[in-house]
A and B are shown apart, each in its own frame.
Chain A
Amino acid sequence: MRFAFTADQLELRDGLRDLLAKECSPAHVRDAWANATGRVPGLWDRLVEVGVVGMLAPESAGGLGLTYADLVLLLEETGRHAVPEPIVETAAFGVPLLGRADLTVAAAPELVPWADTADVVVTAAGRFDPATIELSPRPSVDGARRLFAVRGRAEPVEGLAEAFDRGTLGFAAQQCGLADRMLEMTVAYVKERRQFGVPVGSFQAVKHHLANARVALEFARPLVYRAAVTLDPVHVSMAKAKADGAALAAARVALQCHGAIGYTTEYDLHLYMKRAWALARSWGDAAWHRRRVGRAIL
């Protein structure tokens, strides 16, 4: 038993963190909110270049032939930076499903983000035929998530259930990254912001809110990492249920501890908060995943 990442895996994670800090800053995410695609121009190519997109594809198909345990920390990073790209849909879901690394995949059980700029669209109904596909925009609270209702002829794809589990786990990882980011922003803020002559972070009520959110994250992460090794559907459901809970708790506490500044769109918090809200209700919400765990244990 050695339940820890290798130095190489951590190094890859740190490398991606540095890259995203530069190329997917809050300013870039804001730009995606405002532009035509909801994506960051040029970012996808960089993600392809550094190997994140094709990580799970065999080397013969242009990938790195690595495992989900190698990918999971990278997906967590894409959450931390609220990367507005179908990275989970492609790297975790589409690449192993289609066995190739050269297509951008948009996918969701129902409403599909970035369906208009992807090469392939997959929902629970299957893979859509580009000739018959009809996309109707359904704007999301997260302005970068260009969301669509999809209609048309869909063909069944072999292995869809497993693919949905891999995708779900990717979003659980993103939720951990989002929770971590929101906590980090809030800790920094409450150390600076002064009221009554002291930093508001010295008030116990504020401390306890943040401690609770930190604990929720501490105990969600191991479930995500365990599921990345086993890819057992029940483990995936445990991970998603707890990661959603941790992200929603962090969002709630982050806003409360910021006060009104967090309630503006000029401040960056909302970029992460809204992503967390959206992800918590897609690919199965916590209640859906608990029901699935319940069927296994009861």
Chain B
Amino acid sequence: MDIEFGPDEERFRAECRAWLEANVPRPPLPSGDTREGFTAHLEWERTLYDARWAVVSWPREYGGREASLWEWLIFEEEYYRAGAPQRVTQNGIFLLAPTVFEFGTQEQKDRILPKMASGEQTWCQGWSEPNAGSDLAGISSRAVRDDAAGGWRLTGQKTWTTRGAFCTHLFGLFRTDPAAERHRGLTYFLVDLSSPGVTVRGVERLDGDEGFAEVFLDDVFVPDADVLGEPGRGWEVAMATTGSERGLTLRSPGRFLATAQRLVDLYRARAAAADDAWRDRLVDAWIDAEAYRWQTFATVTALAQGGRTGPESSMVKLFWSELDVRLHELALDLLGPEAELADGELASWMKGYQFALAGPIYAGTNEIQRNVVAERVLGLPRR
């Protein structure tokens, strides 16, 4: 057992910290889930990319620094500690990219990854449909073969597409074989949202931002070069990387450690009015953030020794999403009558609370994750 970071890792941490301190925009950018905010965030992404901080764990040729998983965790801790902007490119770099690395052709990697890293192309996730949420294999948007043109024609509707109104591209699952068993006839497509036949309508989320979108596809042509993995194997391709979405990469511990620290600062500022029950909840949440950090260190140690993420990532998703709600609920309790403010510095807590409430819904609802833990970690019978 060796629970210290080595001198190289500490140097890396110092380098991250110094760069972030010098570069993180102040005051904070407007929400990245609005049109103006999204543009401002893309400039920030460009700044990150130019200094090679956008995708630290990627190969150099695609804009990364070949950072180890440990260094990536350190980067994330420093990133959130510095109060740096949300990553509007996250669904590309954390959800699509691992899939491209695993299933993409060389041509696809070379074409897609650098522009994703720089933010020149931005990706949204087109999985959910009006009639397929938790039951993702129930999607009905379809793709029909167009041999003459060397590709596919996509028709249907995607929904709840995060930042779909601002992104340039969508990755998603479409049904290519209606006769096949539900999970089999699916194919993973990469869609240019400027293609003819695409209509995108922004949808206001709970917090008032236009963070959702509906994406309508009407006979949209997608060339064969934009099929990821084999046709008909879309389910396996998509599932291979759901671990990234639930666990580690999407929501690393640094985020919650930083929120817990901000909460401690808030508590201190309001200590006179704070009662013991709040203090107890605060400490409990702080311990949970630490627990997440150390559980992650155990997981990363296992991965570094050649392990793979399995159904355990569902436990991680349950834990961080519920922790995030608790952290924000407590902040609102501390703010008291000011909790409802929608403007000014304190409003970030209400905003954060509303986003935290989505955690138990997206990336597979927590009910679904509990099913996974029960059936695949504990081995209980399916019904």
Docked pose: A138 CA to B1 CA in angstroms: 41
A238-B287 in contact (CB<8A): yes
Contact check: which of A3, A6, A202, A221 meets B380 at CB < 8 Å?
A202
Chain A residue nearest to B373 in the complex (CB): A211
**B-chain residues with CB within 8 Å of residue A290 when the two chains form the complex:** 280, 283-284, 287
Query: How many B residues have CB within 8 A of the partner chain?
Result: 50
B318-A1 in contact (CB<8A): no
Contact check: which of A1, A69, A214, A220 meets B301 at CB < 8 Å?
A1
B4-A1 in contact (CB<8A): yes
Q: Which of A141-149, A161-169, A223-231, A262-270 contacts B (4 or more CB under 8 A)?
A: A223-231
Does A242 have its Cβ within 8 Å of any Cβ on chain B? yes
A199-B381 in contact (CB<8A): yes
Given contacts A4-B305, A207-B374, A207-B375, contact A222 B367 (CB under 8 A): no
Q: Beyond the given A3-B2, A211-B377, A219-B315, could you list 16 further A-B residue pairs with CB under 8 A, ordered by the A residue number? A: A2-B3, A3-B297, A187-B379, A207-B371, A212-B318, A218-B315, A218-B319, A219-B288, A219-B291, A223-B294, A225-B298, A226-B3, A242-B287, A287-B280, A290-B287, A297-B286
Does B370 have its Cβ within 8 Å of any Cβ on chain A? yes
**A-chain residues with CB within 8 Å of residue B301 when the two chains form the complex:** 1-4
A214-B284 in contact (CB<8A): no
- Shortest distance between the CB of B119 and any CB in chain A (Å): 31
Does B264 have its Cβ within 8 Å of any Cβ on chain A? yes
Q: Which residues of A come within 8 Å of B, CB atoms?
A: 1-6, 69, 183, 187, 190-191, 198-199, 201-204, 206-208, 210-212, 214-215, 218-223, 225-226, 228-230, 238, 241-242, 287, 290-291, 293-294, 297-298
**B-chain residues with CB within 8 Å of residue A229 when the two chains form the complex:** 1, 3
Docked pose: A228 CA to B1 CA in angstroms: 10
Docked pose: A253 CA to B381 CA in angstroms: 18
Does B349 have its Cβ within 8 Å of any Cβ on chain A? no
Docked pose: A40 CA to B247 CA in angstroms: 44
Does B292 have its Cβ within 8 Å of any Cβ on chain A? yes
- For the complex of A and B, the 8 pairs showing the least CB-CB separation, nearest first, are A207-B374, A222-B294, A211-B373, A211-B370, A3-B297, A219-B291, A201-B380, A294-B283
1/0 contact trace for B354-383 toward A, CB 8 Å? 000000000000010111011101111111
